[in-house]
Amino acid sequence: MNGSTTIRFALEFRLRNLPVSGRPSVPVGRPFVELALPGATANVPDCFIDTGAAVSVISWPLRNLLPWRPAPTTIGELTVWNGYPCDFGETTIRLYDRVHRRISASLPLVGKFLRTPVPFHKDRFVILGLNFLMDNAVRLEIAGQPWNLGGPLEIG
């Protein structure tokens, strides 16, 4: 956003309760944002922020949909994700805020582009890693409440 305007996006937390023997279930959730992809109204890929991911990850179908360019590397950890082979590269994405009906400017995304389909999130996902937050001056705020999470994502 060129540092001049801050845009605030609502995060969607998809919560699940994981059963644990001998105690109440454990609630878990991830902060999702929506990708703005031309022509992808019915089958919008999952896009979520993973603060445990050093770099972003782009699934195989999106690798073939988004224009991207390789960034050759010899660092092994940048060429594999959960045991699946990747290429390291860069592209741009745009985020859509359904609540306020606005789209972000193009945002640089540097990450791992999967070379093969994987059995996660119906193989249509983008994981926004910590490098995405740093590269785009993103402010992430997560507020925990009993059995719920909330908070915004600010870009700019």
Q: What is the pLDDT of residues 85-143, one digit of tens each?
A: 999 999 999 998 888 888 899 999 999 999 999 999 889 999 999 999 999 999 998 88
The mean predicted confidence, pLDDT, of the chain is 89
Helices and strands (H and E) in the chain: how many: 2, 17
**How sure is the predictor about 147, in pLDDT bands with cuts at 50, 70 and 90?**
low
Residue 3 has pLDDT above 70, yes or no: no
The percent of residues above 90 in pLDDT, for the chain, comes to 54
C-alpha dihedral (64, 85, 130, 51), degrees to nearest 10: 110
Could you write out the DSSP letters of every residue in 30-83? EEE-EE--TT-SSSPPEEEE-TT-SSEEE-HHHHHHS--EE-----GGGSEETT
Rounded Cα gap, residues 37 and 45, in angstroms? 9
Residue 2 has pLDDT above 70, yes or no: no
What is the b/e burial string over 13-43, where b = at least 16 CB atoms within 10 angstroms of the residue's CB? Answer: beeeeeeeeeeeeeeebbbebbbbbeeeeee
Residue 49 has pLDDT above 90, yes or no: yes
CB 148 within 8 A of CB 15: yes
Contacts of 101 (CB under 8 A, 6+ apart): none
pTM: 0.88
Rounded Cα gap, residues 63 and 48, in angstroms? 16
For the chain, list the domains and their CATH numbers. Answer: 31-155 (2.40.70)
